[in-house]
Amino acid sequence: MPEHSLKIGLIGAGRIGLQHAEHLTSRIPSADLVMVADAYEEAARLCADRCAIPFATRDYHAILDHPDIQAVVICSSTDTHARIIEEAAQAGKHIFCEKPIALDLPSIDRALNAVERNGVKLQIGFNRRFDANYRRVRQAVEQGEIGRPHLLHIVSRDPEPPPVEYIRVSGGMFLDMTIHDFDMARFLIGSEVEEIFVLANVMDSPDIAAASDVDTAVLMLQFTNGVIGTISNSRHAAYGYDQRVELLGSAGVISTGNNYPNTAIISDERSVRRDQPLRFFVERYTESFVSEMAAFVDAVLHEGPVPVTGRDGRIPVVMALAAQKSHIENRPIRLSEIEQ
């Protein structure tokens, strides 16, 4: 362990929590993960055993009360994020929190006020900002390689929907899935969105309809700088995890394709084909998850700014709430309507 390492506690040992635990213990030398907590104690113990974490507990307050722990990584259920952020801030811990901060703005604002009041750092887990493909698109915008941006198109489709039990508590497609695309739109263009219009439906998931959610959506975004954006979402893409971007500018276009397990292409008398794209986000975005956590650790250790702020976490929730309202009322919604 390096002389100057960040002592961290992990709250939540589910799928994403376990992934962060593996990265913190094996790929980020300046991180020292000393304790993991989960409401299901067996999950905490399994995570601790798998990643050689010294302590496991059912009660996350043990992490907040630990005098040597400097930062927490919050990967618990969405409905606990804002409360734990407040408690961690009051305990003087720096905070990394998975998205979203909460499903409503008052809860988010209380959490952000606690962070500011106690002078701790807060980074939100929008990992796609750290993906090499998307960072290259952002670089093209910053350096003017394609001229002035005109039209942004984001494709984000999952290979299969999550369990309906998860959908019922997730806040729905726009707050759980599209929220990544909302953040990506802001990041890539470097401008805010002022208006959203949604067309959405349930195409082949009766359980999702019963949970009052949708599985297919197209969203139109109007940016304050004049750029027009579209987002194409589906919870069921039979061919795999579809993650693409195209940005048309006044002097050219930049696009990113899917990531594949290999570069092999088979050509014969019947077809030209290749293997399917990487199947899900754990495979597709592994390196971006490592990079975002390394950036958080570095920001705390060297007293620098975090790359994804609490404000960056709040705005996509406003966008998601606008999308929900647009879907219900079948009209464009200005984000200022949500802030009223």
Q: Give pLDDT tens digits for 262-285.
A: 999 999 999 999 999 988 888 899
Q: Which amino acid is at 36?
A: V
Q: What is the pLDDT confidence band of residue 318, given thresholds at 50, 70 and 90? A: very high
Q: Which whole number is the average pLDDT over 42-60?
A: 98
**Which residues have CB under 8 Å from 16's CB, separation 6+?**
75, 98
What pLDDT does residue 2 have? 53
Q: What is the pLDDT confidence band of residue 296, given thresholds at 50, 70 and 90? A: very high
User: What is the set of domains in the chain, with CATH numbers?
Assistant: 6-120 (3.40.50.720), 129-279+316-339 (3.30.360.10)
Q: Which whole number is the average pLDDT over 325-340?
A: 96
Q: Which whole number is the average pLDDT over 219-230?
A: 98
What pLDDT does residue 3 have? 54
Q: Which whole number is the average pLDDT over 197-222?
A: 95
Structure tokens at 329: 């009322």
What pLDDT does residue 283 have? 85
pLDDT over 90 at 207, yes or no: yes
What pLDDT does residue 225 have? 98
CA proximity to 79, closest of 3, 170, 15: 170
% of the chain surpassing 90 pLDDT: 95
What pLDDT does residue 20 have? 98
pLDDT over 90 at 144, yes or no: yes
Condensed to tens digits (0 to 9), the pLDDT of residues 100-138 reads 999 999 999 999 999 999 999 999 999 999 999 999 999
What pLDDT does residue 106 have? 98
Q: Which whole number is the average pLDDT over 149-160?
A: 97
Buried b (16+ CB within 10 A) or exposed e, 140-163: bbeeeebeebeebebbbbbbebee
Backbone φ and ψ of 271, nearest 5°: -165, 170
What pLDDT does residue 282 have? 80
pLDDT over 80 at 1, yes or no: no
**Mean of all residue pLDDT scores within the chain:** 96
**Counting Cβ atoms within 10 Å, is residue 176 exposed (0-12), middle (13-18) or buried (19+)?**
buried
Instruction: Answer whether 8's CB lies under 8 Å from 24's CB.
Output: yes
How far is 327 from 40, CA to CA, in rounded Å?
A: 36
